[in-house]
Structure 1
Amino acid sequence: MVILTIDIGGANTKTLLLLPSNDVKEEIFYFPLWKRKNELKTLIKEIKNKYKPEIVGITTTAELCDIFETKKEGERFIYRVCKQVFEDPYFLTINGELTKKEADIGAANYIASIYYLEMKFNEGILLDIGSTTTDIIPFKKNKILYGKSDLERLMKHQLIYTGMLRTPLNTIVHKIPFKGKKLRVASEFFAITADLYRVLGYIDKEEYSCETPDGKGKSIEDCKRRIARLLCSEVNEVEEELPNICEYIKNEQIKIIAEGIKEVVKESGIRKAYICGVGTKIGIEACRKIKLDYKGLNIKNLPCLGLAYMLREKGG
């Protein structure tokens, strides 16, 4: 039984093929839905033709894109596009159910991740740092410890809108230390976390998988130039201080994530994190900061993997 799972996000669409041998094939497509909504059907068709699956599962977080007036409109659009391409796909609902009917399918991909982790580890905290957001979700077999909607998870500190690639740096810091002073940064879309982590050596050019704020290159010099703009400067004006500036912003983002983890630990009583996602490196640093036990998972696409196992056990 060849199982294909697709996680349709606002910026990235991810796929995973689970073979009978348990081997997996994974792919990530940078696909900004807010720009290319009318091309989604073409992308899904290409995925179908490439893999020719026997069973298909869909999960999504793209309903939050502001091209949709409501989240329900986004869910309905994604459901209908997938139904037009695949004969009988399953959709993961916010209640953790697999359905072939139109339902509440938005913001449910983390449920598939939790399914996999409960199966493997029984209890813990999922720390999944993606390109845009961070999930900090406690899990315990046969118990529901997480909020279902994005709003509920925000209220429980289980969802933080900060990520490894697409987060504007001026949303992480409002002031930056520079030559003994704290300077207010420009409130403009000048630089993102992909620029920061490219300069710091956490990601390479290929891993900078989103668009740049200015539409220009992804070299380290390009990234430095964008970061310098936070202080309305050219690189040569701030170059001596730039390493300290980057470390400061990184540490502030880690602090944001660590504070969220502490809240989840406090409420759940669980003291071990399982870390995955493109931001695994900063997730490890956040756990170390608060002296929390952790295990790094060598899994690129946990929601799709979890959904594939759900389909094998329940839907297939």
Structure 2
Amino acid sequence: MSKEKNIVVGCDIGGAHLKIARAEDGRIVEALTLATPIWLGLDRLIDAARAARRLFAGSRLNVFTMTGELSDIFPSREAGIASLLSIVTEHFPGKSLIYAGRSGFVAPDKATALAADVASANWHASAAFVAKHAGDTLFVDMGSTTTDLLVTQGGRVVHDGYTDAERLATGELVYTGFTRSALIGIASAAPVKGAMSPLMNEYFASIADVHRILSVLDENDDKQPAADGQAKTVAGSIARLARMVGRDASDLTPPEWRELARWFSEQQLRTVHDAAFRVAGRLAGDSAAPVVGAGIGRWQIRRLAARMERPFVDFADLIAASDDARSEASSAAPAAALALLAQDMD
């Protein structure tokens, strides 16, 4: 008689995306990211849970982390956690546990009382997995909206902040990501034809447009509509970028727009680089400690590692996974980490 598979599903409920990773016998076999803009209604998350139901087939345990409680659909983080826990209980099949970071895994009915630990703890799950499997590192996860930077040392996660407010202050959380960040949040002025042009204080374009123009964006990773709701093409992205500097696409040549896009991506990298130097201070003198990169922004993190003169290790190379699932699992690192961390739990 064949042994029954040990199936655990990890889920990261964000404000913009639901990330899911299915592990069978300690190996990620499928990972998936679905657009769930819950600021438009919680039905977006419920619909995604239904669409992904097949990933939960046969699972003995589902484990959840979340950042969606920050969505402005909720009056507070605690209210957001309570609402998301209700959806987990009602709309996700099977037994569930909630990841409460420093408090470990807890039952859903205990999680509300640990709201301060549950809130936005997805970074802790990924970093805990890296600490266990990669030793001393600078772990950097750039998603669609934010970038997490943590040191792992001596088999544990070393951090100065825990809450979002604390981590923003320490540089361990930088509010910039590979697709959703508005360009007005990257800079207030940009070089156009040799002069610094102030930017329009409007959401005319996102960093996804920049990375599309530079041909480094996987279109699968840009799951939200463009700022103007128009085509997500290079021409469309150039038109949106042009509006940011009060121009039309025809005002500059394609190479000139590409140079402007390169400048914006560089500005984003500089912001992350500054935070990385602060956070990596604990690794001073250990030049062999690598940068471990996760998330859809791994292209940017590779550049960061080169600037810091440190080796780069993809989170995908630390996990047991099928070839088809490996890259997507790295993009959904918190979900994959949870599924693997919980493999031996009862």
Q: TM-score range by the shorter chain?
A: over 0.9
Deviation, 1:96, is 4.2
1:118 aligned to 2:131? yes
Deviation, 1:50, is 4.7
Query: Greater shift after overlay, 160-169 or 46-55?
Result: 46-55
Give the structure 2 partner of residue 257 of structure 1.
Answer: 272
Give the structure 1 partner of residue 68 of structure 2.
Answer: 62
1:304 aligned to 2:322? no
Write the distance in 1 (CA, Å) between the matches of 2:313 and 2:158. Answer: 20
1:169 aligned to 2:175? no
**Residues 81, 237 of structure 1: CA spacing in aligned structure 2 closer, same or farther, 3 A cutoff?**
same
**Residues 50, 293 of structure 1: CA spacing in aligned structure 2 closer, same or farther, 3 A cutoff?**
closer
Q: Please, which of 57, 80, 101 is the counterpart of residue 94 of structure 1?
A: 101
Write the distance in 2 (CA, Å) between the matches of 1:141 and 1:305. Answer: 22
Q: Please, which of 21, 25, 31 is the counterpart of residue 30 of structure 2?
A: 25
Give the structure 1 partner of residue 77 of structure 2.
Answer: 71
Query: Greater shift after overlay, 64-73 or 242-251?
Result: 242-251
Q: Please, which of 268, 274, 277 is the counterpart of residue 295 of structure 2?
A: 277
1:133 aligned to 2:146? yes
Q: What secondary structure, in the 3-state scheme, does the structure 2 residue paired with 1:206 have? A: helix
Deviation, 1:220, is 0.7
Query: Greater shift after overlay, 194-203 or 78-87?
Result: 78-87
Q: How many residues align?
A: 315
Provide structure 2 residue ranges, at least 5 long, that are not aligned to the other structure. 1-5, 317-329
Q: Which amino acid aligns with 1:285?
A: R
Q: What secondary structure, in the 3-state scheme, does the structure 2 residue paired with 1:164 have? A: coil
Give the structure 1 partner of residue 258 of structure 2.
Answer: 243
- Amino-acid identity (%): 21
**Residues 68, 77 of structure 1: CA spacing in aligned structure 2 closer, same or farther, 3 A cutoff?**
same
Write the distance in 1 (CA, Å) between the matches of 2:23 and 2:70. Answer: 28
Q: What secondary structure, in the 3-state scheme, does the structure 2 residue paired with 1:6 have? A: strand
Contact 2:315-2:333 at 8 Å conserved across structures: no
1:7 aligned to 2:12? yes
Q: Which amino acid aligns with 1:2?
A: I
| TM-score calculated relative to the size of structure 1 | 0.94
Write the distance in 2 (CA, Å) between the matches of 1:70 and 1:268. Answer: 36
Give the structure 1 partner of residue 222 of structure 2.
Answer: 208
Provide structure 1 residue ranges, at least 5 long, that are not aligned to the other structure. none
Regions of 4+ moved over 4 Å: none
Q: Which amino acid aligns with 2:120?
A: A
Write the distance in 1 (CA, Å) between the matches of 2:66 and 2:40. Answer: 17
Write the distance in 2 (CA, Å) between the matches of 1:42 and 1:175. Answer: 40
1:265-306: per-residue Cα shift (whole Å, max 9, x none)? 124546431011111111111222232333233323221121
Write the distance in 2 (CA, Å) between the matches of 1:41 and 1:230. Answer: 35
Contact 1:125-1:273 at 8 Å conserved across structures: yes
Write the distance in 1 (CA, Å) between the matches of 2:97 and 2:331. Answer: 22
Write the distance in 2 (CA, Å) between the matches of 1:51 and 1:279. Answer: 27
Contact 1:170-1:187 at 8 Å conserved across structures: yes
Q: Which has the higher contact order (CA 8 A, sep 6+)?
A: 2
Write the distance in 2 (CA, Å) between the matches of 1:15 and 1:117. Answer: 18
1:5-36: per-residue Cα shift (whole Å, max 9, x none)? 11110111010110126242111101111113
Contact 1:145-1:268 at 8 Å conserved across structures: no
Write the distance in 1 (CA, Å) between the matches of 2:102 and 2:26. Answer: 30
Write the distance in 2 (CA, Å) between the matches of 1:304 and 1:17. Answer: 9
Give the structure 2 partner of residue 290 of structure 1.
Answer: 308
Deviation, 1:144, is 4.5
Query: Greater shift after overlay, 91-100 or 292-301?
Result: 292-301
Q: Which amino acid aligns with 1:281?
A: W
Write the distance in 2 (CA, Å) between the matches of 1:205 and 1:305. Answer: 21
Deviation, 1:141, is 3.6
